[in-house]
Amino acid sequence: MTLRHTLAPLALVLAGLTVAASAAEPLKVGLMEDISGDLAVIGLPKLHGSQLAVEEINKAGGVMGRPLELIHLDPQGDNARYQEFTRRLLSRDKVDVLIGGITSASREAVRPIVDRTQTPYFYTNQYEGGVCDANMISMGAIPEQQFSTLIPYMVEKFGKKVYVVAADYNFGQISSEWNRTILKELGGTVVGEEFIPLGVSQFAQTIQNIQRAKPDWILTINVGAAQDSFFEQAAAAKLNLPMGSSIKVMLGFEHKRFAPPALNRMHAAANWFEEIDTPEAADFKKRWHAKFPNEPYINDMGYNAYAALYMYKDLVEKAKSTKLADLRKVIATGQACIDAPEGKVCIDPKSQHTSHRMRLISVDDKHAVKVVKDYGTIQPYWLGQIGCDLTKKNDRKQYTPSDLPKKS
C-alpha cells in the first residue's frame, strides 16, 4: 500500500470529524433588546420571546443540527449604543443573524452597518412601514395591515370625522399620512390633528380641542409613558369617544397597566395580542408562562421576536445554508412560511416583510378584550405596489406615502 492509499482514507476520516464538529458548532444569534431604560416594559418580552424560541428549537435538534446560541446586549434605547453593539456583534462575535431594535431610530442606526455585511437582520416590531432593504426582514405589522383594516372599520361603525392625536416624530407623522390617505378614499375628514412632543404629559388643552372639533372617533397614535397619560385624563374628563390605534393594547398592554375605564372603547388591529383564543395560541401561551411565570403580558413584539427565530430556522433549513444570498433565494420563491401561533406567516419576496393574520379588537369599560372582526391574512402589498422589488434591486431606503421611489 502506498502512502497515498493510507492517507486518503485518513483524510476522509479527518474531514468527517471536522464536519461532525461544525455540525455541532452553534449558530450565533446577535440580539439587541432594551431591557433597561424607558423601553424596558416593551423590551423584556422581546428578550423572553427569543429565549423561549431558542430553548424550544435547541430541544428539537437545533437548526440543521446546529444549536442556536443567543448573544444578547442591552443598548438601553441609546442609538449610539445600538451602533456600537451592532459592530461588536457583527465584527467581533461574528453572528450569523442579527435581531433587534425597538424604535425606528435604532433600526435606522443599525441598517447602514448591517448593510455592509452579508448578515440578515430581523426587525421584529410593528412600525410605520416602507423600508426596502435586502438585508432586513421585517416581522412586524405595517400600516397596510393595521390602518387599512382599522380605519375603514372605525369609519363604518362610528363615523367619518376623525381627530388625530399623534406623537411628534417620524412614526406619528408617517402614520398620520397613512390615515389621511386612507380616509380620503373613504370620504372621511380629519377634523383636527395634534402632534405631541415626546415627554409631554398634560392633555387638558388637547381634550378641549377634541371637544371643540366634535369628531366621531379619535385616532390615538401617541407614544411613550408620558403621552399615555392622555387616556387617564380623557377618561377623567368623561370624553368617552371611541378610539382607534395601531399601537395600544397589544404593544404596551395599557389595558393591564391603567385603571379602568381609561381604555374604554379602544379599538386596535393586531396580528398578535395575548387574548387570542385559538388552540395554537393557547399552547404557545402555556409554554411562555411556564418559562416566564411573572410575565405581565405577552405583547406583539415579544411574539414577533419568537416567530422571527422560527422563520430564520425555516429559511436556513430550506436554503441549506446561512448565507444571506441563499436565504434570499428562498424568500424569492415565496415559500418562506411558518405556522405561527397567530396563523400562517409568509415573507413577501418583493419587500421582505411578512404577511399577517389581522384581527380587530376592542376594549370595554372593564378592560376586557374582545375580537370584533377577523380579516384573515393580509399581504404587505404597499412596497411592491410603489416599486420596491428586492428580487431585482436593493434600494436600502425607507419610503413613506409622501416620499415615494423616484420613477427612473
Partner 1 sequence: MLKLINGSQTLGATRAFWLPFVAVVAAMLVYPVFADAYSVGNMAYLLLWVFMAMGLCLVWGYGGILSFGQTLFFGIGGYGYGVLAINLGGESATTVLALALAILASGAVAAVLGYFMIWGRIGGVFFGIVTLSSTLVLAFFLGQTAGPEWRVGEARLNGFNGMKDMAPLNVPWFGGEPLYFEGVPLYYLVVGLLLVVYLGLRILLNSRFGHVVVAVREDPQRAELLGYDVRKYQLATFVIGSMLAGLSGVLYTSWGQFITPASVGLPAASMPIVWVAFSGRSDLTATTVGSFLVLWTFQALTVHSQQAALLLMGAMLLATVMLAPQGFVIGMVQLVRGVFAPRRRREAATAMAEEGGS
Partner 2 sequence: MFAEIFSFAYQFADVFAFLILAAAGLAIVFGMMGVINMAHGEFIMCGAYVTVGLVHAGLPLVLAQALGTLAAGVVGVAVEWTIVRKLYKRPLDSLLATWGLSLIVTQGMLLIFGSSLAGIGTPQGSFSIGAYTFSTYRLVLFGCALAVLAVIYLVFMRTRFGIHARATMQNASIAQATGVRVGRVYALSFGLGAALAGFCGAMYAPTMTLMPTMGAAFLIESFVTVVVGGANVLLGTAPAGVVLAVVRTALNGWGGQIIGQIGMLLAVIVVIRLLPEGLSGWLARRTR
The reply to whether 156 sits near partner 1 by the rule CB under 8 A is no
Beta strands, E only, 34-127: 68-73, 97-100, 121-123
Distance between CA atoms of residues 150 and 362, nearest Å: 11
Could you tell me if 322 and 96 are in contact, meaning their C-beta atoms sit under 8 angstroms apart? yes
Could you tell me if 45 and 299 are in contact, meaning their C-beta atoms sit under 8 angstroms apart? yes
- Sorted by sequence, the CB contacts under 8 Å of residue 61 that are 6+ apart come out as none
Q: Which residue's CB is nearer to partner 1, number 37 or number 296?
A: 37
Residue position matching grid coordinates 430553548: 55
- CA proximity to 243, closest of 368, 152, 158: 158
Q: Site for partner 2 (CB under 8 A): which residue of 211, 278, 333, 402?
A: 211
The reply to whether 9 sits near partner 2 by the rule CB under 8 A is no
Amino acid at 314: D
Which residues inside 243-302 make contact with partner 2, applying CB under 8 A? Answer: 256-260, 262
Could you tell me if 31 and 124 are in contact, meaning their C-beta atoms sit under 8 angstroms apart? no
DSSP label at residue 388? -
Q: Site for partner 1 (CB under 8 A): which residue of 29, 73, 247, 388?
A: 73
Distance between CA atoms of residues 206 and 169, nearest Å: 18
Crossing angle, helix 79-87 and helix 104-114, to 10 degrees? 30
- How many C-beta atoms surround the C-beta of residue 311 within 10 A? 24
> In the complex, what is the shortest distance from the CB of residue 207 to partner 2, in angstroms, rounded to a whole number?
8
Q: Which residue's CB is nearer to partner 1, number 391 or number 400?
A: 400
Residue position matching grid coordinates 446546529: 66
> In the complex, what is the shortest distance from the CB of residue 42 to partner 1, in angstroms, rounded to a whole number?
15
Q: Which stretch binds partner 1 (CB under 8 A): 97-105, 203-211, 225-233, 291-299?
A: 97-105
Q: Site for partner 1 (CB under 8 A): which residue of 58, 79, 321, 379?
A: 79
> In the complex, what is the shortest distance from the CB of residue 90 to partner 1, in angstroms, rounded to a whole number?
8
Which residues inside 29-88 make contact with partner 2, applying CB under 8 A? Answer: 36-41
Q: Which residue's CB is nearer to partner 1, number 56 or number 78?
A: 78
Chain contacts with partner 2 (rule: CB under 8 A): 36-41, 168, 194-197, 199-202, 204-206, 208, 211-212, 214, 225-226, 228-229, 232-233, 235-239, 256-260, 262
Chain contacts with partner 1 (rule: CB under 8 A): 35-37, 73-76, 78-81, 83-85, 87-88, 91-92, 103-105, 108-109, 111-113, 168-174, 195, 197-198, 398, 400, 402-403
